[in-house]
Amino acid sequence: MRKRIVVLLIVLLTVSLSAFAGAQAEADKGYDLYIYNSKGENAAQFAEMAKAYEAETGVRVRTFSIGSGQDHMETLRAEMNSRNKPSIFSIQGVKELIEWYQGGFVVDFNSITDASFKALANNISPSLRLTNDGKTSFGVPYNVEGYGYIVDRQMIADLFGGASVDAFIADAKAATYAEWEALVKALDAYIKRNVQSTVKLNGKAYVLATAKTGLAKNLNGVFAVMGAEKWTYGDHFINVAVNAVFANPNAAANATDADVEQLRGAFLAYAKALDLKTSYLAGLRGAATRGQDFVSSANFGYDQAVQIFADNKAVFFKQGNWAYGNIAGVNAAQAERLEFLPVKMPFESADIKVAGLTVAKLNSSIPVFVPNYYAINSQVPAAEQKLAMDFLVWLNTSATGKKYIVEEFNFIPYNADPATTTLPNSLGNSILDYIKAGTIIAAPYHGAPATWSGDVVGLRLMEQYLTKSNWTAQDYKDIVDYAVQNWQNLN
């Protein structure tokens, strides 16, 4: 009997040790904190930042970053359904929040008692919070971003004379759409046929140089455009038009079918402006046109468009301050000379439904917004949630964390004071100038149905219109109908 008891104890001990060893092996995943980053442009720097955090704190961080320009939601869904879920993950605005809120994946910061994190969360400006009702708070902003037409000051000097650069930039910001359209056509004639002319911006005259010199000798088109990247015209470009009717993402998220109908005039302006931009294209090997080649990622993807602009083959490049690092990687000198000009559209006064907004204000402003938020996963253990809080506090308050945000990521901190902040990159400082001047609009497209702007409207434009050389009035109408009807269908 005693022998049996001893044997039984040995068996139980063996089983217990095996279970303990298995639990230990499962617990030690090779990292302590897993961060999913949807900002592919800073993937390498993000990984370096994680190593710096481990060096300072001893916390092992696993990072995953998607490719630049990729849709991250399918990848994130797979990660959220995996055994080892991210402790921190990215949410790109209200339209993505809905899914993760309904699925029970997000921690409401109002429920957190950790003092350091509570202080960080409470200091996020109400206008920048990720919320579904104005009371909740589900994310720490990555940064603030803005976008418009990027232009090289030296290119303007070579086209219009060095003494005219500051005045040109100021008047181009204030110019009407008609003046903008005339400028685009004058530049096209100058680039392709050496036609010298005078253009007016904000009512003031600017004369093109008699002969191409300096950077202007490299031009083969007016715009560098990523035809293969539907998010650039399906998300960001159409967002300018959405601003005419909805002042912010929550207004768009709560829109009725009748509200969406009011977008028709703004979407008509959008279609015309997109036609203009994609009719005067620069290419890697010469002037380009709409067609199958234009939607090829091998020729007009993100990297190719950056190359076109950085090689001085285009005057304008519609992108955001996130592109600074990409441009600097190709042409470091050019990256220090960049400014933003507003995206302009041929709006009519009747198209503007937002109180206090005018056509002139809309066409002289750039969108500035929070593109991504760090959310804490409510599905991971409490210990991992605490590590997530500690990391976010470190990132936004420590000297090392803030250095990565500003100098390595080339971000504009969400809590930066535009009156006192100077950034180490030209595009960030250009956005701060717009913030100081109050000439900014929002990103209400974040409140549209989740797939509407990129996967629905953007894909339709890529397949049906960016492959077509000439657009008609009927094409404009069809684009408007498609955009409005699909928003309503997806609501």
- Please state the domain extents for the chain: 31-144+371-408, 146-153+219-369+424-490
pTM, to two decimals: 0.85
The CATH number of 146-153+219-369+424-490 is which of 3.40.190, 3.30.450, 2.60.40, 3.30.160? 3.40.190
How many residues are recorded in the chain? 491
CB-side exposure of 263: number of CA atoms within 13 Å?
32
User: Which H helix or E strand runs over 380?
Assistant: none
Same fold, 31-144+371-408 and 146-153+219-369+424-490: yes
Helices (H) and strands (E) in the chain, counts: 23, 13
Radius of gyration of the chain (CA): 25
Which residues does 196 contact at the CB level (< 8 Å), separation at least 6? 190, 207, 208, 209, 210
Close Cβ partners of 446 (under 8 Å, ≥ 6 residues apart): 92, 93, 94, 95, 249, 252, 369
Q: Which residues contact 164 (CB under 8 A, 6 or more apart)?
A: 156, 157, 206
Residue 174 has a CB neighbour count (10 Å cut-off) of: 16
Give me the DSSP letters along 196-223: --EEEETTEEEE--SS--GGGGG--EEE
What CATH fold (topology level) applies to the domain 31-144+371-408?
D-Maltodextrin-Binding Protein; domain 2 (3.40.190)
- Which pLDDT score, from 0 to 100, does residue 134 have? 84
The pLDDT of residue 38 is 92
**Reduced to 3 states, what is the DSSP secondary structure of residue 287?**
coil
Please answer whether residues 317 and 133 qualify as being in contact, where contact means their C-beta atoms are separated by less than 8 angstroms: no
pLDDT tens track of the chain, all 491 residues? 444 444 434 434 444 434 444 444 445 689 999 999 998 888 999 999 999 999 999 999 999 998 765 678 989 999 999 999 999 999 998 889 999 999 999 999 999 999 999 999 999 988 899 998 889 999 999 999 999 999 999 999 999 999 999 999 999 999 999 999 999 999 999 999 999 999 999 999 999 999 999 999 999 999 999 999 999 999 999 999 999 999 999 899 999 999 999 999 999 999 999 999 999 999 999 999 999 999 999 999 999 999 999 999 999 999 999 999 999 999 999 999 999 999 999 999 999 999 999 999 999 999 999 999 999 999 999 999 999 999 999 999 999 999 999 999 989 999 999 999 999 999 999 999 999 999 999 999 999 998 999 999 999 999 999 999 999 999 999 999 999 999 999 99
456 and 486 in contact (C-beta within 8 Å)? yes
With contact defined as beta carbons under 8 Å apart, do 291 and 467 qualify?
yes
DSSP structural state of residue 147: E
Beta bridge partners of 375: 89
Cα distance between residue 78 and residue 393, in whole Å: 27
List C-alpha distances in Å: 471 to 81, 409, 433, 461, 486: 44, 39, 36, 12, 21
- Torsion sign over Cα 276, 278, 283, 287: negative
CA dihedral sign of residues 378, 383, 388, 394? positive
Predicted pLDDT of residue 29 = 81
Residue 438: CB atoms within 10 A of its CB come to: 8
- Side chain identity at residue 313, one-letter code: K
Write down the pLDDT at residue 69.
59
